Amino acid sequence: MNTYILGIESSCDDTSASILHNGTILSNCIANQEAHKLYGGVVPEVASRAHQANIVPVVDMAIKKAGINKEDISAIAFTRGPGLMGSLIVGVSFAKAFAMSLGVPMVEVNHMKAHVLAHFAEDPKPSFPFLCLTVSGGHTQIVVVKDYLDMEVIGHTIDDAAGEAFDKTGKLLGLDYPAGPLIDKYAKQGKAVYSFTEPRIADLNFSFSGLKTGILYFLKRELKKDPDFITKNLADICASVQDRIVSILMNKLTKAAQQTGIKNIAIAGGVSANSGLRNALQEAGIKNGWTTYVPKFEYCTDNAAMIAVTGYYKFLNKDFIGQEVAPLARMKI
Ligand code: KG4
Ligand code: ZN
């Protein structure tokens, strides 16, 4: 049987559509929204308007790139949440209308589950159970993945997400949004010579707000002594910030691996594109005898391929949702 799943992602500021054929990705098209750079962060109203403009062309492109006709689509998988309400409404409404016109079933997808299942977009695929550190602009979680659709969050952030820590630091440094990829780039040219304290949080939870405040006061102090401190030392500041964020993440991930005894370890989400984190995971893997899984770059940040993959496993379970479905800004794994 030929199963073609159309995946749709619109939870934040990327509009994406993907076609999956029997578990294999045929297309994964993404329209990024440059407009947010002007504001130093995602502006919900701007995001939903851009989704509205992009959704039809992006879906059209995904279908064309896959070399299929819209009539071939077996089901439509869409992000129901969590995310920005105005952004989600565009994807959900489009999915409903398109599913109705094609007469195909719909599958609702949890965006955070999808980040984890991005590992099943291509080989090598992790074997169960595995631990996944999901680090994005809105979330930071350690998830025990028992099966495709059976996941348990054992650690989460109590304030900012890891991506926010990168982006907010970038703002202090005068970098464009999203600053994560820029800090990663500059960090490669510098050394982690400045030390920022690690938060003392019990159990497997994370906190990044103290780090942000620490960086703010550090910069204020140094800028008083030398107004050009940031320009002169940007690479070293970025290397130091990245080093600390990565060590906070890796320390908790290592603790989670010790506590659960799980040795299949994965990272996912936008921050898993970070070269410092990717290197640290490989090193820890060698040291601790882990099998590590790092997604391809295009499956780290928001994309519809991960929505189509998740939708496919739910489709196999005939886990469909009706036209009464509404988006959820908050949605648990
Ligand atoms: O998963 P994602 O695309 O969207 C959300 O669901 O939030 O993650 C976006 C986040 C942003 O905070 C961005 O700065 C961060 O991922 N990011 C990175 C890198 N690439 C993206 N952070 C650090 N280093 C990177 N190379
Ligand atoms: Zn995401």
Ligand 1 pocket test: pick from 301, 303, 306, 330 the residue with the most ligand atoms within 8 Å of its Cβ: 301
- The tens-digit pLDDT sequence of the chain (333 residues) is 899 999 999 999 899 999 999 999 999 999 987 777 777 788 888 899 999 999 999 999 999 999 999 999 999 999 999 999 999 999 999 999 999 999 999 999 999 999 999 999 999 999 999 999 999 999 999 999 999 999 999 999 999 999 999 999 999 999 998 999 999 999 999 999 999 988 889 899 999 999 999 999 999 999 999 999 999 999 999 999 999 999 999 999 999 999 999 999 999 999 999 999 999 999 999 999 999 999 999 999 999 999 999 999 999 999 999 999 999 999 999
Answer whether 295 contacts ligand 1 (Cβ < 6 A): no
**For position 74, what pLDDT does the model report?**
98
Q: Is-above-0.85 flag for pTM?
A: yes
User: CATH assignment of 4-117+300-316?
Assistant: 3.30.420.40
Answer whether 166 contacts ligand 1 (Cβ < 6 A): yes
In DSSP terms, 5 is beta-bridged to 20, 75
Answer whether 23 contacts ligand 1 (Cβ < 6 A): no
Answer whether 184 contacts ligand 1 (Cβ < 6 A): yes
Q: Return the closest-CA partner of residue 145 out of 129, 161, 123, 163.
A: 129
Strands in 150-156's sheet, in edge-to-edge order, are: 150-156, 140-147, 130-135, 264-268, 291-293
Question: In this structure, which ligand is nearest to the CA of 47?
Answer: 1
**For position 162, what pLDDT does the model report?**
97
Parallel, antiparallel, or unpaired: how do β-strands 14-21 and 4-9 relate? Answer: antiparallel
Same fold, 4-117+300-316 and 125-295: yes
Exposed e or buried b per residue across 163-180, where buried means at least 16 C-beta atoms within 10 angstroms of its C-beta = bbbbbbbbebbebebbbb
State in Å: Cα 256 to ligand 1 middle. 22
**For position 152, what pLDDT does the model report?**
98
d(CA 134, CA 141): 5
State in Å: Cα 164 to ligand 1 middle. 8
Q: What are the residues whose beta carbon lies below 5 Å from ligand 2 (ion)?
A: 136, 302
Q: What are phi and psi of 114, to 5 degrees?
A: -65, -40
Identify the three-state secondary structure at position 51.
helix
State in Å: Cα 111 to ligand 2 middle. 6
State in Å: Cα 194 to ligand 1 middle. 23
User: Strand ranges (DSSP E) for the chain?
Assistant: 4-9, 14-21, 24-32, 75-81, 106-110, 130-135, 140-147, 150-156, 264-268, 291-293
* Domains of the chain by residue range: 4-117+300-316, 125-295
Sign of the torsion angle spanned by Cα atoms 62, 26, 93, 34:
negative
CATH architecture of 125-295: 2-Layer Sandwich (3.30)
Answer whether 270 contacts ligand 1 (Cβ < 6 A): yes
Atom in ligand 1 nearest the alpha carbon of residue 11: 6
CA dihedral 185, 191, 194, 199 (to 10 degrees): 60
For the chain, how far is it from start to end, CA to CA, in angstroms? 30
